[in-house]
Chains A and B, each alone.
Chain A
Amino acid sequence: MYRIRFHGRGGQGMKTASRVLGTAFFQEAFQVQDAPRYGAERRGAPIFAYVRASRTAINERGVINHPDLVAIADDSLISAPAAGVLQGIGPRTVMLINSHESPETWQHRLNLDNTILIVPAEDAVTDRADLPFAGMVCAGAAARLVGVIGREALATAIREELHTHGSGLVDRNIETALHTYDLMQDHANAVTEGTEISAKSYASPQWIELPLENAGSAAPSIHAAATSTLLKTGLWRTMRPVIDYDHCSHCWWVCSTFCPDSAIRVNEEGVPEIDYDHCKGCLICVAKCPPHAIEAIPENAAKAREEKAHATKTPDR
């Protein structure tokens, strides 16, 4: 049985990726399960979706804990524990990462000997609309890595799953998926089927038993205000708005008023400041700033810029 997990952010099309891969397997006469998993959060928040495919009946249910392949649409998720990307990875798990960095860098960073394959991430795109759909990038690559899905089955699956969308969009997605399918040519069959897991070998997770407490201490009343600020929604961001203070006309109210997330405050001098712990990267401020003083840059480029600025500030020892 193949067990494949897709990780991404709401809106990157990972749920669709799992549907497409599942349907492509089905085209090749496999029995298939696919399901998305997300919490209460919305577009931008980490989600995952998973696919099981087998020539015989699938009796397993629930989340995949021992994946043969983990496909990651957004490499910034790897370091976010809540995203659970590394959950249950074993020595034979293949990792497919949409990233700017090399397999060796990731092996080193994660301290893993696993096969790590990279689909080169798009550079210098300032308009999200120009980005190829990460979901299709991953679905195309995964289809090739399992080695049992043909180009035709992949294209048919995409047509089927996206039939409610315009033909232009369908064609673009097929093109994207086939492109990464071909990119992975040298690694066809890199992902192999995992062994059957029998019900007998099932071990329950290591629950931590908590004593039953009275409601007053188990679920205390919260009197603090605006506790949501403890949640760092800045992790959702793929693009970062950056204010160019030389061009900001200090109108203060525009970006700060339009930001749905109260993530832009105006300081005592009337200067707007973006709270990157909470900014989700919607970029409404970029669209609304009257003197166009806010620029959108990809989050990883922004991080690199920050690190460089930091390095030049710290004296060498």
Chain B
Amino acid sequence: MAKTLIRRMKDLPSTHLFGSGTPMCAGCGGLESLHQIYEILGPRTVFVNAAGCMTLLAIYPFTPFRGSWLYTAMASAPAGAQGIRDALDILLAQQRIGADEDLNVVVLTGDGSANGMGLSATSAAMERGLDFLYICYDNEGYGNTGQQFSAATPHGARTATSTGPHGFGGNKKDLFSIWAAHKPAYVATAIGAEPVDLARKVETAKQLKGPRLIITLAPCPPGWDFDPRDAADIGKLAVKTGIWPLKEYIDGKVVHSKIPHPRLPVEEYLKTQGRFNHLFQPQRDEALLAEIQDSVDRYWDGIAV
């Protein structure tokens, strides 16, 4: 098992490799996790990005990265990563670049791409054992196009296309389990609001070979309807209420890296966001609140503290 050196906040890097000046929203939870991830990954990376908010990071001639970036169609980021990995491997084999010039190939997509259009390409990349890292920032909707629901939208949330009295009627896809079922080298969930946990996971993934995938929950001020100031607090609440479990799949086992104890009622999290307003106003939707709480409770049932 990989070793991590990061134990506490003080061990996190104090300098920033990731450039300021990006066009992401003020308070973007996806950017909060990405800049933390980048500090650990370092500059020897090449990003392969599927259409989504983060596409706007690198608009020629501006980029926050220190290395290259490739833009692909929404369904194809893992295929793009395969091409880059193969090219690097050929260059290495022909000794046209040295081992010190090799790059980490990193896929960066939103939840819409990861859970929907891009899932098949990801599955195939895992099947081929592609040596890459996949980062999905999960803002639980098609953020870039105005927060329509995606396969990762949680039950009951209002989105631009779920405006009824009970919000989104479907259920959030369990992408972690779908990915883990492929038995890749590593899968984890994380969040920018828990920087030490996130950094440890990135550090672990960086040391492994093969397919490695991380989903970070990305509180999104416009999409979830909250003041940007609250982004990190809402992220913390997602963990404390147990609605966003922090876990890893490694060596064939799923391990929780943080078990909330005691677990706060899930409405402490829901009530911070306008997308769940209809659960509380004009009157409390007790049935839907109980349904959401119940699904969280059922998840944690039997998971040892």
Contacts and interface: CB of A to CB of B under 8 A. Distances in A.
| A complexed with B | yes
Interface of A: 10-11, 39-45, 128-129, 164-168, 219, 222, 225-233, 236-237, 251-254, 256-263, 265-266, 275, 277-278, 280-284, 286-288, 296
A209 B210 CA distance: 51
Interface residues of B, number: 55
B265 interface: no
Binding site secondary structure of chain A:
loop
Given A287-B229, A287-B232, A258 B195 contact: yes
B229 A167 contact: no
B16 interface: yes
B30 to A, nearest CB: 8
A45 to B, nearest CB: 7
B15 A253 contact: no
A43 B61 contact: no
B15 A284 contact: no
Binding site secondary structure of chain B:
loop
B208 interface: no
A262 B25 contact: no
B117 interface: no
B21 A260 contact: no
B15 A265 contact: yes
B32 interface: yes
Nearest to A232: B21
B28 A227 contact: no
A256 B14 contact: yes
Contacts of B27: 43, 260, 280, 282-284
Which of A43, A232, A261 has the most chain B CB atoms closer than 10 A to its own CB? A261
Sorted from nearest, which 4 A-B pairs have the closest CB atoms?
Answer: A226-B19, A282-B27, A278-B20, A225-B66
Interface string B15-42: 1111111111111110110011000000
Contact of A282 (B193, B222, B228): B228
B16 A253 contact: no
A233 B21 contact: yes
Interface string B190-232: 0011010000000000000000000000000110000111111
Nearest to A257: B195
A300 to B, nearest CB: 17
